[in-house]
Chain A
Amino acid sequence: MDRRKFLRGTAALGLGRGLVSGCSAGMAGGMFLSGAIDQAFAAPLQYNLKASLIAPGTYVVVGPTEYFSHENGGNIVNTAFVDTADGVVVIDTGPSLRYGNELRRLIKATLKKDIVRVYITHHHPDHFLGNQAFEASKIASLPKVIENIKSQGEAFVENMYRLEGDWMRGTQVVLPEVSLKSSEIIGGHPFEVLPLGGHTSADLAILDTKTGVLFTGDLAFLDRAPTTPHADLNVWHKSLNDLEKIKHEVLVPGHGQAEGGGRAIAQTRDYLKWLETMMRSSIDKGLDMTDIMATPIPKRFSNVTVLPGEMHRSVAHLYRKMEEDLLPLITKGGG
């Protein structure tokens, strides 16, 4: 049970603010309510992050392949960290201050070393809102990613409070202070900076050439439907082609399991191609958004999570531009 449901429960019992103030109202409720609520009140919000070793000195914290909720607190994302001779390199910081703090403690407990670099792959809230837990002077990304965080970060924070509630407590936007211009060698690991895009207007992929681990951010998804709120599909396909040409041992997608073998890139490409073709042909047949959303998902995506919900969101993101392209011009505007 999450905190919002718990509070609703206490309100129904007349244990709101008017009766007893703040926290003590909850305590009073906990004392004589059923065990479930008692437990819910006692349990602090915790992500219980776990690191899996996927390559020498390289750990991934794999999030469930879900949508943001009051249950998961925004932990739907992969973060990663790499052990180098000079300290730890982190890739993405998670969806909240609470996640960032837990990630930092997990890194400390696993490697007992200082963090020397944090890379942010792109400006979506699940990837950078843990920044507060890290030193801003160590956080680096592409100039355009930093610009995107600056212009859209606050709005993301507001929406994440709405979608997740108390998990977000205290979370604020922290901008990366290092603007990445070229690749860096850290503790004997040459980290290749790959400035790509398509999932958003700027997506950073990182290749650790020492271990052969490719961190793609949200340019690749695995067994979780790709998201498109800021997507440019043509640019995204170009980036996928570029990524495919890069020799690597293991690919860490933004969402889904890390593995070798190219499945994440192929599946992301296949899904995006299907989505676009399906939408364009539907518009050509005179169908509106609500009709297109009812399109069945092909069987080959049956083990891809968050469908059809993510497809519905994509229709909301992509329909208008496609319609503008496909509807014939009848009269020009202007004076």
Chain B
Amino acid sequence: MLKTPHLKLLSLSFAFSLFVMSFGMVNMATAASFERPADPLKSVMWNQMYDEFLDGGARKVVFDKNVVVKTMVNVEDQFHVPVTVDARGLKDVKEIVVFSDLNPIWHVLTYKPEEAEPYISFRFKVQQSTPIRAAVLTSDNVWHVGGVDLEAAGGGCTAPAMAHGLPDWTLRLAEVRAKIWRSIDNRETRLRVRVQHPMDTGLADGIPAFFIETLDIKSTEGRMFGRLQIQEPVSENPAFTLMPKLKSSDSSVVVDGRDIEGNNFRAVVPAPARSSQLGSVTTSSVR
């Protein structure tokens, strides 16, 4: 007895989903108005990366030397590949997305600098030789892309974290070590923050994914310097360098973090008034 209305409902919903699908397709067709640029790294995954991270034609994409990606090209330690993304050559940066084409998990992190320079350094895990790229979205809706090819031995993403070799790793979970440097003219501030965390990818046998997913950098009054969305490939005990724009009245910076099991942690990092002990950052990768 109940079959007829059910069928009716089904056919209705089917028609509706057809409608939605076709609408979606039309929408995509009109949106995909920008041409996909040829990949200077000639990655077999470039088309997929373009669709996944760069809106597949809905936004303009340019390869831009103002997106400096510094790394160690011949990877020595596939569990800890140092990467610095420096987009200070661009104005009005909204977001920095870092991804690696041939890693089992492509997305490494997304950084949204608010009152901060578009600059981030971190370490990540690689599973094999792969491009590492940074895409920087500016307020004029353009993705500026930079990147390099890494040469690496295998296995960084599928091996257990070192923490699991230690019986008491939970005792230090979410321990925060950090320091702030200010240049003598107060024009540059650098924050280095390191959090104790296994950052399990979920790809090692019998160990579920367990990683920090957000890190917010704020002033004590709640002004947002920058927000980090972190993914599985970021290395164990992640460490970041950021450049928040501190006011001279800011005497500390608040770091608020959360992992995917809902553990929240907060660290208040004191900011020195002035310091001359700030080294200058470089502009190129090493082999």
A interface residues, Cβ below 8 angstroms from B: 158-159, 162, 229, 282, 284-291, 293-294, 308-309, 312-313, 316-317, 319-320, 323-324, 327-335
Contact = CB atoms under 8 A, between A and B. Distances in A.
B201 interface: no
18 contacts: A286-B181, A287-B279, A289-B123, A290-B72, A290-B82, A290-B282, A290-B286, A291-B279, A312-B287, A320-B237, A323-B177, A323-B194, A324-B237, A330-B269, A333-B172, A334-B171, A334-B175, A335-B170
Contact of B175 (A282, A313, A333): A333
A117 B194 CA distance: 49
Nearest to B287: A309
Given A308-B286, A312-B286, A328-B179, A333 B171 contact: yes
Given A286-B190, A324-B194, A313 B284 contact: no
B31 interface: no
Contact of A159 (B84, B153, B268): B153
Contact of B282 (A158, A294, A328): A294
B196 A316 contact: no
Contacts of A323: 177, 192, 194, 239
Given A286-B241, A323-B194, A331-B265, A313 B76 contact: yes
Given A286-B190, A317-B77, A330 B178 contact: yes
Contact of B170 (A282, A284, A317, A334): A334
Contacts of A332: 172, 175
Majority SS at the chain B contact face: strand
B112 interface: no
A308 B266 CA distance: 39
A89 B151 CA distance: 40
Contact of B70 (A159, A290, A331): A290
Interface string B57-82: 00000000000001110101100101
Nearest to A329: B177
A177 B273 CA distance: 62
A213 B190 CA distance: 52
A82 B72 CA distance: 42
Contacts of A229: 76
A334 B121 contact: no
A320 B179 contact: no
Given A286-B190, A293-B286, A333 B196 contact: yes
Contact of B71 (A290, A327, A329, A333): A290
B171 A312 contact: no
Given A316-B80, A331-B265, A290 B175 contact: no
A15 to B, nearest CB: 23
Given A285-B277, A286-B192, A323-B239, A316 B72 contact: yes
B110 to A, nearest CB: 19
A327 B194 contact: yes
B108 interface: no
A291 B285 CA distance: 9
B285 to A, nearest CB: 7
Greatest chain A CB density within 10 A among B74, B192, B267, B279 is at B279
Contacts of B181: 285-286
A316 B266 contact: no
B184 to A, nearest CB: 12
A323 B235 CA distance: 15
B278 interface: yes
Interface in B148-197: 153, 170-179, 181, 190, 192, 194, 196
A327 B170 contact: no
A34 to B, nearest CB: 27
Contacts of A320: 80, 237, 239
Nearest to A163: B153
B281 interface: yes
A330 B121 contact: no
B230 interface: no
Contact of A330 (B171, B267, B278): B267
Interface string B257-284: 0000000011111000000011111101
A196 B44 CA distance: 49
B83 interface: yes
B176 A330 contact: yes
A267 to B, nearest CB: 23
B127 to A, nearest CB: 14
A289 B84 CA distance: 9
A324 B192 CA distance: 11
Interface string B230-258: 00000001010100000000000000000
B228 to A, nearest CB: 16
B250 to A, nearest CB: 16
B194 A162 contact: no
B237 A287 contact: no
Contact of A286 (B84, B177, B179): B179
Contacts of A317: 76-77
- 5 smallest CB-CB distances across A and B, nearest first, come from A333-B175, A285-B279, A289-B82, A327-B177, A316-B76
A330 B193 CA distance: 10
Contacts of A159: 153
Given A316-B82, A329-B176, A333-B176, 18 more contacts: A162-B153, A285-B181, A286-B190, A287-B281, A288-B192, A290-B72, A290-B121, A290-B285, A290-B286, A312-B286, A316-B80, A317-B76, A317-B77, A320-B237, A323-B177, A330-B178, A331-B267, A334-B174
A331 B285 CA distance: 33
